Amino acid sequence: MALTRPNILTSNTARTQYTTGVLQLKQEPSGRTTTDFGIGGPSASVSTYDLFVIWHHRTMMTLTPPGNAAGRNAAHRGPIFLPWHRVMLMLLERNLQRVLGDPTFGLPYWDWGADGDRTPANQQTSKVWAANCMGGSGTPVTTGPFQFKASDPTSFRVRIVSNAFGQLTAVNRGLQRAFATSGVSTLPTSQNVRSALPLTPYDAPQWDAGSAGFRNRVEGWSGGQGAPWLHNRVHVWVGGDMSPGTSPNDPVFFLNHCNVDRIWESWMTAHGRTYLPLMSAGTTLRGHRIDDPIASPLGATTTPRDVLDVRSIYGYDTLP
């Protein structure tokens, strides 16, 4: 039976389970060390949660295909954006089910379009930033389950970041957020979401950050005035640790991407479970084609074709 992914804005149970599970994964040793990943400094254990931070950053640093001039990497700026993040979400969801001991747990989403419909001031007081959910803004964050406590080494800590050269480095500090301070004063709105849903095809030449079509709009490189759009706009609005390639350091990362996945599911419900217009492309899109392996720590086991229809695995309580 397929599980249901709920809206964290309306489900107290989802808030409790998600924050509890993330904290458990953050404390759970993965069996890997920073030395294994070439991260400088004394060797230290890497948590299961931080494996997702490393995975996302390394994928962003992998141009696909190598040397392409568009900056298209193995997870962004091209057709693979939505399938790659779907795989990442499913893997996190399984790990949360494991530590929670609940195989019916569905990863919650943050309907930031609903919050974007509020006034700019009220966007910063959304239920998602409450003390029983993500906590608020700060350098470091000092409210909620992911707050920094200098006297408590078991409190939520950011352990791995990227430096100015794109290299991973070990740190030991609190989570950072800086709402609406990077030139983006508001979240996307529900109307912004509705305006993306009619767009076809899924993607289009040049298959990059300048493309027409649905993928590029929902990723957030296109959309007219007010860019960045949708997904990108949320990252920039939250700021702090949501800005660099190590953005999974902030647990709200997964709530953002779960909502993006929900929007994609709504698009496929309306337009069919298609990927590229011809369902294939030449070598200039190697790594983004429908049967190309998705870059994953599990190895080359999944392709975009494999995740176009996941209705037997999960669904959403409601689609936009």
For the chain, domain boundaries: 3-308
What is the rounded average pLDDT of the residues 102-115? 98
What is the rounded average pLDDT of the residues 303-309? 95
Residue 138 has pLDDT above 70, yes or no: yes
Residue 225 has pLDDT above 70, yes or no: no
pLDDT value for 277 = 64
pLDDT value for 185 = 95
CA distance 90 to 310: 10
Q: What CATH number is given for 3-308 in this structure? A: 1.10.1280.10
Strand 3-5, strand 314-316: pairing: parallel
What is the rounded average pLDDT of the residues 50-73? 94
Other residues' Cβ atoms within 10 Å of the Cβ of residue 84: 25
Peptide bond into 228 cis (omega under 30): yes
Residue type, 147: Q
Tokens of 218: 């929902």
Strand 29-33, strand 45-47: pairing: antiparallel
What is the rounded average pLDDT of the residues 125-142? 97
pLDDT value for 280 = 62
Q: What is the percent of the chain where pLDDT is above 90? A: 87
203-207, 247-251, 276-280, 300-304: least confident range: 276-280
3-12, 103-112, 200-209, 253-262: least confident range: 200-209
**Mean model confidence pLDDT for the chain:** 94
pLDDT value for 23 = 98
Confidence of residue 45 (pLDDT cuts 50, 70, 90): very high
